[in-house]
Structure 1
């Protein structure tokens, strides 16, 4: 019975099911949008250029709506999750995602205009969207783990997310084209996505048990009463009491000095971690938001199956990043792991900018094998700073910051891509490489400050 109860606390089935469904949806949406705008352009000479601009403009509006619409509700849901029940912050976004997938299915079956998807994105965002959902997943994983194992625990969640995306992406292209002679393209794929989201919602509501999280508190050291009762000699007892008082006074002095040196830069460290996370996320967004357009146009000119394989290669990085965290966490600090991930991403982006053949795309992806280490590791570091009961709110503030800054840069990069795609379509990847390198600066400062703080702490006797 105890084992069954433990299994019911696992959030992994929700993460895996939702991400496979999301992979199906992403591939289906991209191909549906491509087919929609390809039918609108009849001139062969201008078809590719006009199609690229139309798809780019669609995703600019779609991403803006999807990322900005959670702003009124995400923090409220996170607060309800922290204070009431964490299922609220998981189930509400799943409901919104489920209904948005149903809307895409209706667009396919009823020949509705593609702009209907903007409305489904608004509804998905107002129910919390990915912002509230993923922040709560991370908060739940962080609070149910020890500080020493927190980076690994969060990376295991990311690994589950990545493996599910890998499997879903591999299958999505084949499912999209499999029944093209009998059904409208994408019907089976989107229906499968709907089924997976329905399963996740059912599991979260009826099966999932939220584990009890005990808040850590600093308790005043008390003398061992059993030892005190065993001491019968008055002189020895007085001596022991005097020694204990001196030890407590020494500890209090050391703790006071340590608190003065460590609590003061705590907010500074949080701010630096936020800056590093935001800059790195901007680099990722600026590249990945234009990547599908880059793959659809010449010289690569990928179809549904190739798009699925390309997405799978991106999700495979979650697996290599997990292996990296598992190995590196035994030998280096969290800040060092973050820097390794940033460098891996930067070099991969530089190679991706000059890709002209499909095999080079996979070479660039292989170089980025540790690029998903930084954000979960930064979340792990942040979760150790605030009080446990505020973890959900801190994570959702971080996620909202990432979403807002990301969608702004996404819009800018899509416009830059439209201008530069004829003379150098990889320009946005060079821009991503530069921004990624800038994110090394704040995390390096955190690394230095932690080294100084840990060096000071070793002076105090324990």
Structure 2
């Protein structure tokens, strides 16, 4: 049976499964912390969260601080193995195909969701979640899977504009399906508790893994397969070739683009990681239903960002599109810092409608300035930086939020918005160097020297 060449279903099902339980993780930890620290049952009403009930304010601050620090420890223990595995798997895909870097993270997701289900069902020690997260990180994470998917798309698309749109399409699918999952999470939780969402996510990851193994066709096999060369040596060789065989100007542009991607991800993820805790805290006091609606509304940003890339790519250069996206996320984060009502918290999503545009455009810009045989090494670096920025941002902003929640809960969002000025400044340097035309010419030369990838 002939296979399929579509990774979009993989991303769709993966994002649905992840975001079905992602908003629940913070809420589950929050409720368990509440029970452990206050020795009382977590109070809920039909329309509000615990802080609308008559409880001591110091209890809320104590639980907020403890939940934030738990998230910090959870990310720290999974960061190093996830980074190493991401580098190994995505770079190794240049020699053994892209499917390995897509399938193994799905195995890790199965480990995590099944562990979470067991901890919730049997009410085991909550700190076992950290052990489960560490075990799943040994198979890679979302960065590994997306790195494999973007490398897969780079193999299929030779046209630069088509490549940008396909990558933006993956981000859109990621956002839309996560939105569908997020909006159903609150109702799912209220109707059946935590166990059924975790079990549903487990089934989704299992079906996704079956699709990758059985139906998804491989796109890339290295023309110079070295059967006896160990994977680590292939990784080092691939990353070395990525920078050693190109001109100084190409390397400078590539490094600048990687730094822009890192600082953008750090600011964006660091700020957005705190949104659920911020919504649970006073004066918002959101219930699980409102949190679900807020998460779903946030994921519409992926659709509007795709539309933005599609329209703006016909009239603006890539650098300008990235600049507009950075302004979008910066303004939204600064507004979030001062949101004190439910209406204001919903409205902060409006200036962030184009906030996802920088990610696919930057990936496409980097992909166009390297040869086809180096796509895996490139997206290994990109995925590693994305994982690193996510984990470091999680650690930094969760600890910062725990330290500042008592006197100004919005400080972390204000800082994240201000940090967006760093990628804006670096983008100005890239605009001065003018990477697009020179980069594409060098990519053609590099492709001729390295040999063309198999066409599909």
Considering the TM-score relative to the shorter chain, is it more than 0.5?
yes
Q: Secondary structure at the match of 2:348?
A: helix
Q: How does 1:265-414 map to 2 (within 5 A)?
A: 265-414=249-398
Q: Which residue of 2 aligns with 1:113?
A: 125
Tell me if structure 1 keeps the 8 A contact 2:253–2:435.
Answer: no
Tell me if structure 2 keeps the 8 A contact 1:143–1:213.
Answer: no
CA distance in 1: counterparts of 2:220 and 2:89, whole angstroms: 19
Tell me if structure 2 keeps the 8 A contact 1:334–1:381.
Answer: yes
Tell me if structure 1 keeps the 8 A contact 2:98–2:220.
Answer: no
Change (3 A) 1:271 1:212: closer
Q: Which residue of 2 aligns with 1:258?
A: none
Q: Structure 2: state its 5+ residue gaps.
A: 40-54, 224-245, 442-456
- 1:448 shift after superposition: 2.1
CA distance in 2: counterparts of 1:212 and 1:116, whole angstroms: 39
CA distance in 1: counterparts of 2:335 and 2:406, whole angstroms: 19
CA distance in 1: counterparts of 2:83 and 2:11, whole angstroms: 22
- 1:293 shift after superposition: 1.2
2:31 paired with 1:18: no
Deviates more, 1:326-335 or 1:78-87: 78-87
Change (3 A) 1:151 1:405: same
2:215 paired with 1:207: yes
Tell me if structure 2 keeps the 8 A contact 1:28–1:186.
Answer: yes
Tell me if structure 2 keeps the 8 A contact 1:274–1:398.
Answer: yes
Q: How does 1:39-188 map to 2 (within 5 A)?
A: 39-42=35-38, 44-45=55-56, 46-148=58-160, 149-179=162-192, 185-188=193-196
TM-score, normalising length from structure 1?
0.83
CA distance in 2: counterparts of 1:282 and 1:210, whole angstroms: 32
- 1:432 shift after superposition: 0.9
Report Cα offsets for 1:44-92 as digits up to 9, x if no partner.
4232111101110110011222332213322221233221122111111
Q: Which residue of 1 aligns with 2:34?
A: 38
CA distance in 2: counterparts of 1:388 and 1:212, whole angstroms: 10
Q: Which residue of 2 aligns with 1:460?
A: none
Q: Secondary structure at the match of 1:439?
A: helix
Q: Secondary structure at the match of 2:407?
A: coil
CA distance in 2: counterparts of 1:389 and 1:48, whole angstroms: 53
TM-score, normalising length from structure 2?
0.84
**Equivalent residue in structure 2 for 1:441, among 412, 415, 425:** 425
Q: Which residue of 2 aligns with 1:28?
A: 24
- 1:213 shift after superposition: 8.2
Point out the structure with max Rg over C-alpha: 1
Tell me if structure 1 keeps the 8 A contact 2:96–2:221.
Answer: no
Deviates more, 1:420-429 or 1:407-416: 407-416
CA distance in 1: counterparts of 2:380 and 2:221, whole angstroms: 19
- 1:93 shift after superposition: 0.7
Change (3 A) 1:176 1:352: same
Tell me if structure 1 keeps the 8 A contact 2:335–2:348.
Answer: yes
CA distance in 1: counterparts of 2:207 and 2:407, whole angstroms: 46
Change (3 A) 1:22 1:452: closer
Report Cα offsets for 1:23-51 as digits up to 9, x if no partner.
11212222211221111132742321111
- 1:214 shift after superposition: 10
CA distance in 2: counterparts of 1:111 and 1:214, whole angstroms: 48
CA distance in 2: counterparts of 1:446 and 1:407, whole angstroms: 26
Q: CA RMSD for the aligned pairs?
A: 2.1
Tell me if structure 1 keeps the 8 A contact 2:93–2:100.
Answer: yes
CA distance in 1: counterparts of 2:222 and 2:124, whole angstroms: 51
Q: Which residue of 2 aligns with 1:9?
A: 5
CA distance in 2: counterparts of 1:139 and 1:96, whole angstroms: 20
Q: Structure 1: state its 5+ residue gaps.
A: 180-184, 216-261, 458-462
Deviates more, 1:161-170 or 1:145-154: 145-154
- 1:286 shift after superposition: 2.1
CA distance in 1: counterparts of 2:334 and 2:345, whole angstroms: 11
Q: Which residue of 1 aligns with 2:452?
A: none
CA distance in 2: counterparts of 1:203 and 1:165, whole angstroms: 19
- 1:102 shift after superposition: 0.4
Deviates more, 1:359-368 or 1:408-417: 408-417
Change (3 A) 1:452 1:388: closer
CA distance in 1: counterparts of 2:393 and 2:6, whole angstroms: 35
CA distance in 1: counterparts of 2:398 and 2:152, whole angstroms: 34
The total of aligned residue pairs comes to: 401
Q: Secondary structure at the match of 1:367?
A: coil
- 1:212 shift after superposition: 5.5
